[in-house]
Structure 1
Amino acid sequence: MQLVLLIVFLLSWGLLGVTKPTLRSSYILHEKRSHTPSGWDVLRRRDASSVLPLRFGLKQSSINKLEDMLYDISHPDSSNYGNHWAPAQVTQTFAPSQETVEIVRGWLEGAGFGFDRVKLAPSRNWLEVNTTVEEAEHLLKTEYHVYGHKSGKIHTACSEYHLPIYVSPHVDLVNPSIHFDAILGKRGSGATPAKTVGLPGVGIFPKTTGNISSILSRLENCDVMITPICLRALYGLNYAPLSTKKNTFGIVEYTPQAYLQSDLDLFFANFSSSLVGKSPEFVSIDGGVIQTMQTGFNFNGESNLDLQYAMNLVNPQEVVLYQVGDLPQGASFNNFLDALDGSYCTFEGGDDPSQDEIFPDNLPNGYNGAANCGTTKPANVISTSYGYNEADLSPSYTLRQCAEYAKLGLMGVTVLFSSGDNGVAGNGALCLNVDGSCSQTEDGMIFNPGFPSTCPFVTSVGATQINLGNKYTDPEVACEQVIFSGGGFSNYFGIPDYQKKAVGKYLQDHKPSHFADIWNSTGVSRGYPDISANGANYVVAVDGRFARVFGTSASTPVVGSILAMVNDARLTIGKKPIGFINPAIYSDAFSSAFHDITSGNNQGCNTPGFSAVPGWDPVTGLGTPSFAKLLEKWLTLP
């Protein structure tokens, strides 16, 4: 399939370690980490007698056909457009082959681990064996160390590991090993553990310039205050949903981020009185709770922003709130993905204890139930504002998670991610260093792309703004007010087929003048974002007052609302949801469905970043949506 790791590019950066097998050697280097992620330090060797649960992620069947299968139901020219798969079909198609299971199990048993110690997950995706550190080090030809993070967290990892030549092709990755998946952040702050993704200031956390004394909710004031009337006018969202019982639209939040009902009601009283007293449809995952013990912008800003605008724009359509993680522990991306797709769960519904939260949680007020695994039906459109820096993760880890988003696409789910608020820099405005170590610092010079936005199977959403003094009818520009629209080119993922024409034209007509060694200038990597929407000057009710808020975490649920209403129209006439949208929106048929953004930059890493230009660009993507034209295009498809 076209989705490939950019091996040559990665080797030049030292991100992959690859050795050629020799006739004398039965082992091959499987993965190698080039540096210790920012914030972590080696504390000591892991005690040889301590227990270390190893999990082997098995190579999935038909994974090389995944992209073609997804395009077959997502490209507007395909005769199978819209024929989404049932979850059982996804599980059956991609389960590792019996040969893969037998080869890896046979190796483990031959290494002295009896049949009773080697367990296969019900999904057949993972093999688990409980070992001592000494046994694991001998098995993988490596050394395990304990790492400490400045936050106080600890983590067990090795810098490289080896597998037998005949086993390596059947294994995606081993946990715990080189991976630091515990480094997950919402754009705009430094890296923090995955388990605490909802903590204040983590990730694409919305920015605020403070409270406002009076609201200007008129179209002539959209340059200084964005309210729902501005967004409806900007993107032509004049639509009353008709199939609310058939349609679903989901927003993801991670505890302790939570909305306040009093803030929702304050917002609705001003902008949509029929919603006063209305709450989102609550879906708790792994003990997710709407906490009210800690309040204020840091705890309520994100969730209030998402829900106030999403619920207003799709009213009377219900909005599903996926609240993930309990109060003591929080949760990670994998906890959420486990709940949506049982085949993604690692072992009997659980995850790697060094990577993700494990439930039941015995801490006070912890979630005492089993981890949610395949228990939650995914909404037709899912909007989320969290993400990693690519450099926080190994290529194999991101590839495996990216494949899960493709599987959701096969099931007809539209997955949206915010592109980031730091331009070409990553979380915390961190950039990669020029010394080849790929370490991330504030004074780095190399562009630092984000993930999952760089995954070709999600839709990445950037941010625009109305320039001060301009009318809502004037062209928007790339957001350069308080935040900068995240965008650039992946260091891990190859360019998908649907994007080749658009990116090729950009590089041909507007190739950046930056030195080639500070960005992925190969021309064969995934570019992001895909589309954009306004992300500046939102009026949001927080803690009993209105504040002005900025971020791609604002633009993403707006795009989600627009796509949810497209689904409503299709469902009303007996058609299916739009599912994975990228092959359609990049096609010639949709070329007139977006407002092209041709002004502004996304500075970062001590550079002006990229520039918004005619056509697709790595600042605002294809541009901002025209609801009427999108609706027209999608209603003509099967």
Structure 2
Amino acid sequence: MRSFLLPVLSFTLGLAASAFADPTLSPWRVHEQRSHIPTGWTRARKLDSSASIPLRFALAQSNIENIEALLYDVSHPGSSNYGNHWSASQIAAKFAPKPETIETVRSWLIESGVEPHRMKLSPTKGWLEVASTVEEAENLLLAEYHVYDHETGTKHIACESYHLPEHVIPHVDFVTPTIHFDARIQKRDQYSRVPIGQPGQGSTPKTTGHIDDILDQIEDCDKQITPICLRALYGLWYEPVAGNINSYGIVEYTPQVYVQSDLDLFAKNFSTDLEGVSPTLVSIDGGSLTPSGSSASGSDASFDYNGESNLDLEYGMTLVTKKQNITLYQVGDWVEGGSFNTFLDALDGTYCAYDGGDDPSQDPVYPDTASGGYNDDEDCGTVQPANVISTSYGYNEADLSAAYAIRQCDEYAKLGLMGVTFLFSSGDEGVAGNTGNCLNADGSQTWDGKIFNPSFPATCPYVTAVGATQVSPGQNVWEPENACEQVIYSGGGFSNYFSMPDYQKGAVKGYLAANPISYSKDIYNSTGSRAYPDLSANGANYVVAIDGSFQLVYGTSAASPVVGAILTMVNDARIARGKPTLGFINPTIYSTAFVPSFKDVTNGTNPGCGTLGFNATKGWDPVTGLGTPYFPSLLAKWLSI
């Protein structure tokens, strides 16, 4: 069964509005409703009823209710179809909206007075766009549009709720613009979002500053993590043999960029054969290492702009060695930046041009005509996805509407069907969200909130969420690691949007039986939802070359590319033996045969929201997942499938 929106912390009401409806149509029902105005916003004035407003209806995809079963069919080690991944054309054909869906929505609009020439169906039939006035939109949706002001000066158009006729509701995922506010704010009039790569946004790594002496010895891994520590911890002693036909992708969002001289400095100390070697740059929507007209990498040679990308690439490249190239997906120009959806657009042509989860209020729009912007068409199905893709960025679930998150999550399932392994860091604030914000009862987020604030996309059941561990002071790499409690805390807990997938039910049930949660059910989702992370890797004391010197860096941002390197080497061995790539790994790693291939982490917690969070314990837990991967065991088991 596919994951569905849970009632916890959502306020979708079954309110009928038939008194306002055309008598020939079915009663209206609330389709989406926001319980509060997001922090920093105020409702300023009623929107002029004669103003133009382009309504976009996200049409329900066919067979989407079966996507979980279809994904399991090619991902579960016990399936006879394991590894029989789909082609992009098969994906497009399987999930295109049914003719009935298109006709139902079109007929309703025509009956409501919308002339056919004002409707436009997107090329892949994912969206129906209507050129409308505010007055007509309000009548169609039984909504009331207002202009909202943000404390930064940004303005936004939205409504508090909207309705659809009962017979139309099953055919529409969501409508824009409606209740969806921006996840991030930018002090710029042209748009009202901040790219996920902006300093201070998302789950970016932390640093304790510069270090003078590098301790590149196994006995010092409790003080500094270097590549030799990671190889010892996870048994990653392997040289690629199929690097020319294997692929590993790392995603960075502008303005986060790497600096080649820093990569060379790191290589000089830890992997001399990589001096002068760069990742293969794949530019998406104008992604580049320098702003237009600039000659220096990064808008500022500093940790804030170079720390994330330097970290990901220095360790990713070193762990897979020179024999395996890494693809760098640099997403977004220096004006708009990028979003998860614009990256997905580039991977899957059926997801583009408002055919997927794109929302102009949250995703950048290209061509970008601003000075220095990417003034060309959006990249749409132009990029071949790598076999393994690691992303060290994330939002809070509550930053995004449930419908928006679910639509995007389904796209990760489609790419899993195509054989892609997606890894996302689980966040660095324990059970709290980015910047330590927690939820309030009305769904708003504040630093003094009391309700646990889960991360997204880590909570999507079709990605693999990676938490963080550490070699604690005084311990060595041969002893079990602990949950990371230095500078950052491993993100983990339970989703408010997605139900628990079948593959983890046994593991989570075992955790809850052995570790009854004493917290009030008002502060976390206790209804049986997607639990995360799925696994972990070291996230503390990384030695990283940044701005010409070395710093100590912390974060699940470090853990994700390390796991990506391990899985890439497993893929190398499988490809060399004529086997398909791993694809979506969660049903496999949670299976009875694979659980022993992870080193259990039983100590530590992930505090947040005024609590100690959850505890790491025997077996799976919502701090470190199944534990840390042990490459030799995982390799042997995956080669046996």
TM-score w.r.t. the length of structure 1 is: 0.95
Q: Choose the corresponding residue for 1:551, options 543, 549, 555.
A: 555
- Find out whether 1:197 has 2:196 as its counterpart: yes
The alignment yields a C-alpha RMSD, in angstroms, of 1.7
Secondary structure of 2:244's match?
A: coil
Q: Read off the aligned partner of 2:258 and give its amino acid letter.
A: Y
- Correspondent of 1:443 among 448, 456, 474: 448
Summarize deviations over 1:191-224 as a string: whole Å, max 9, x none.
x965421111211111000000010000000000
Partner Cα separation in structure 1 for residue 151 and residue 392 of structure 2: 24
Distance 2:273 2:31 in 1: 58
The 1:531/1:350 distance shift into structure 2, 3 A limit, reads: closer
Please give the alpha-carbon distance, in whole angstroms, between the structure 2 residues aligned to 1:115 and 1:420: 47
Deviates more, 1:285-294 or 1:73-82: 285-294
Name the aligned partner's letter for residue 12 of structure 2.
L
2:351 pairs with one of 333, 344, 359: 344
Task: Give the letter for the 1:306 counterpart.
Answer: D
**Contact between 1:184 and 1:203, CA under 8 Å: does it hold in 2?**
no
In structure 2, do the counterparts of structure 1 residues 399 and 611 end up closer, same or farther at CA, with 3 Å as the change threshold? same
Residues 489 and 153 of structure 1: is their aligned pair in 2 closer, same or farther, counting only changes over 3 Å? Answer: same
**1:383-394 to 2 correspondence within 5 Å?**
383-394=390-401
Aligned to 1:81: 82
Q: Which runs of 5+ in 1 are unaligned?
A: 186-191
1:605 aligns with 2:620: no
Partners of 1:521 and 1:365 in 2: CA distance: 48
Partner of 1:189: none
**Among 5, 8, 15, the residue aligned to 2:11:** 15
Aligned pairs, how many?
A: 624
The aligned counterpart of 2:250 is: 251
Q: How much does 1:389 deviate?
A: 1.2
Counterpart-to-counterpart distance in 2, 1:273 and 1:3: 47
Pairing partner for 1:497 from 488, 502, 511: 502
Higher mean displacement: 457-466 or 353-362:
353-362
1:70 shift after superposition:
0.2
Residue number among 454, 459, 463 corresponding to 1:458 in the alignment: 463
Give the whole-Å Cα distance in 2 for the aligned partners of 1:580 and 1:333: 18
- Which residue identity is paired with 1:54? L
Counting only pairs closer than 5 Å after superposition, residues 111-260 of structure 1 correspond to structure 2 as 111-183=112-184, 194-260=193-259
Write the distance in 2 (CA, Å) between the matches of 1:39 and 1:116.
Answer: 39
2:583 is the counterpart of 1:583: no
Does structure 1 conserve the Cα–Cα contact (< 8 Å) formed by 2:203 and 2:395? no
Q: Does 1:530 align with 2:534?
A: yes
Conserved? CA contact 2:193–2:361, under 8 Å? no
Q: Can you list the C-alpha shifts for 1:272-312, whole angstroms capped at 9, x where unaligned?
A: 11111111100000000112242210000000000000010
Please say which of residues 229-238 and 424-433 is displaced more in the overlay.
424-433
Q: Is the 8 A contact 2:351 2:357 kept in 1?
A: no
Give distance in 2, aligned partners of 1:169 and 1:125: 14
Worse-superposed segment, 225-234 or 358-367: 358-367
Alpha carbons 1:17, 1:33 under 8 Å: kept? no
Shift of 1:96: 0.3
User: Percent of aligned pairs with the same residue?
Assistant: 60
Distance in 1 (CA, whole Å) between partners of 2:152 and 2:232 is 45
What is the letter of the counterpart of residue 382 of structure 2?
Answer: T
The aligned residue for residue 639 of structure 2 is 635
Tell me, yes or no, if the aligned pair for 1:536 and 1:549 is still in contact at 8 Å. yes
- d(CA) in 1 for partners of 2:49 and 2:306? 45
Q: Letter of the 2:82 partner, please give it.
A: Y
CA distance in 1, matches of 2:262, 2:241: 28
Give, as a single letter, the amino acid of the residue that structure 1 aligns with 2:479: D
Deviation string 1:311-359 (CA, Å, 9 cap, x unpaired) is 1001121110100111111121111111111111244899443222111
CA 1:151/1:413 → structure 2, altered by over 3 Å: closer, same or farther?
A: farther
Q: CA deviation at 1:38?
A: 2.6
Question: How far has the Cα of 1:451 moved from its partner?
Answer: 1.1
What are the within-5 Å matches in structure 2 for residues 53-68 of structure 1?
A: 53-68=54-69
In the alignment, the residues of structure 1 paired with residue 152 and residue 225 of structure 2 have an alpha-carbon distance, to the nearest angstrom, of 36
CA distance in 1, matches of 2:387, 2:37: 38
- TM, length-normalised to structure 2: 0.95
- Look up the SS of the partner of 1:309 in the other structure: helix
Q: Distance in 2 between matches of 1:149 and 1:241?
A: 52
Aligned residue number for residue 425 of structure 2: 418
What is residue 297 of structure 1 aligned with on the other side? 303
One-letter code aligned to 1:416: L
Query: Distance in 1 between the 2:115 and 2:183 partners?
Result: 31
Q: For residue 518 of structure 1, what is the aligned residue in structure 2?
A: 523
CA distance in 1 between partners of 2:152 and 2:469 (Å): 34
- 416, 426, 431: which one aligns with 1:409: 416
1:332 counterpart residue number? 339
Amino acid at match of 2:362: Q
- 8 A contact 1:55–1:352 mirrored in 2: no
